[in-house]
Amino acid sequence: MKAPNLSFISLLIVCFAMVSHCTFGSVGDSEEEKLVILQNLIFFNNNQTIAVGTNLRSYDNQADDNLNQFSLTSNGNTFNINVQSSTYIHWETGTYRINPPNQTLVVSTTGSERSNGVAKTHTPYTVPLDLPADDLYGKSYPFLATSIVSNVTQYNSTMETGASFLYPNTRTANVPLGVVAIANVSWEEIYIQMTVTRAPNTKTVTILLPQGNKQITPKCKIPIKNGRSGNIEILVSLSALFQDRTVSGTPIRFLDQLPIGTDPVVISKVSNVNLYNILQQNLQAEDITFSFPGCFPGVER
């Protein structure tokens, strides 16, 4: 990218701060001149991009190296789960939307708002801006390639809670400076085969989840800036997909509702539909199956 004209940028900043002393060859409406300055600043900012990678990880949050084996409690009963290597996820796409680092510099591109000199801001920063698709802050940036990834519980990396599976099909994208507004992942199919043991009985469970997608919202500012030291992290937890949770005071339990005396158990949109619906709800629940990591003081996300 061409190096920025620092003297021009400095002039713009000084003139914005002291707009009454800058006429740019005319003595027109000062509000319109402010808007022109802001638009020039945004244009300069919009044309800076940097390469950012992504770590898409599976984990089980049990601080051991056995990602395919974990225990969960459902309605007071303990279930031991062993996910088979035949399990796979057929990913379709994964994209980011990015917001500017300082949203007070965002100006609407609609003609009516431009003519009225209205600066358009969005709060919180996780709301993507309503901008044309050819604007750098209106585009979606891909981080995930279409592929079928099997053996997704094979330990191949580590994170703060221990072992993890680092998906191999992520991309590096050139994105504008700013903060991550939102991520979206979509899949063609999720296929899970596992054994579930509630002593002394063991069941073979096969799960078929068809095409779907999920928006993932950051819980803190994830900066996109020059000198960023690490990849963006997105977490996928198969163990959380099966855990009990409560919605509006009502418990939602998957494991405790597995059919008694039935083996094998097949869960799909045409078989054991009540269990299928619970899994679909768990996929869409905020920060259950898909999430950004939480934020800690001094830790860059």
Whether residue 177 is predicted with pLDDT greater than 50 in this model: the reply is yes
Query: Which of 33-42, 77-86, 292-301 shows the highest mean pLDDT?
Result: 77-86
**Mean predicted confidence (pLDDT) in 59-86:** 89
Query: Which of 42-46, 158-162, 183-187, 249-253 shows the highest mean pLDDT?
Result: 183-187
Whether residue 25 is predicted with pLDDT greater than 60 in this model: the reply is no
Name which residue leads in pLDDT, 238 or 61: 238
Whether residue 31 is predicted with pLDDT greater than 90 in this model: the reply is no
Which pLDDT does position 18 carry in this prediction?
A: 40
Which pLDDT does position 151 carry in this prediction?
A: 85
| Average pLDDT along the chain | 80
β-strands 265-267, 201-209 pairing: parallel
Whether residue 195 is predicted with pLDDT greater than 90 in this model: the reply is yes
Residues 6+ apart with CB under 8 A from 144: 54, 56, 91, 93, 94, 95, 167, 169, 170, 171, 185
Which pLDDT does position 7 carry in this prediction?
A: 38
How sure is the predictor about 261, in pLDDT bands with cuts at 50, 70 and 90? confident
Name which residue leads in pLDDT, 286 or 229: 286
Name which residue leads in pLDDT, 4 or 8: 4
Whether residue 44 is predicted with pLDDT greater than 70 in this model: the reply is no
Which pLDDT does position 29 carry in this prediction?
A: 63
**Mean predicted confidence (pLDDT) in 169-198:** 95
Q: Which H or E run includes 33?
A: helix 30-46
Whether residue 54 is predicted with pLDDT greater than 70 in this model: the reply is yes
User: Which tokens is 221 given?
Assistant: 């500012």
* Burial letters 269-294, b for 16+ CB under 10 A, else e: eeebeebbebbeebbebeebbbbbbe
Whether residue 188 is predicted with pLDDT greater than 70 in this model: the reply is yes
Count of Cβ atoms closer than 10 Å to residue 5 Cβ: 11
**Mean predicted confidence (pLDDT) in 156-174:** 86
Which pLDDT does position 41 carry in this prediction?
A: 59
pTM given for the model? 0.77
Query: Which of 108-112, 118-122, 203-207 shows the highest mean pLDDT?
Result: 203-207
How sure is the predictor about 141, in pLDDT bands with cuts at 50, 70 and 90? very high
Which pLDDT does position 128 carry in this prediction?
A: 87
**Mean predicted confidence (pLDDT) in 256-279:** 95
Count of Cβ atoms closer than 10 Å to residue 79 Cβ: 19
Name which residue leads in pLDDT, 5 or 100: 100
d(CA 205, CA 71): 15
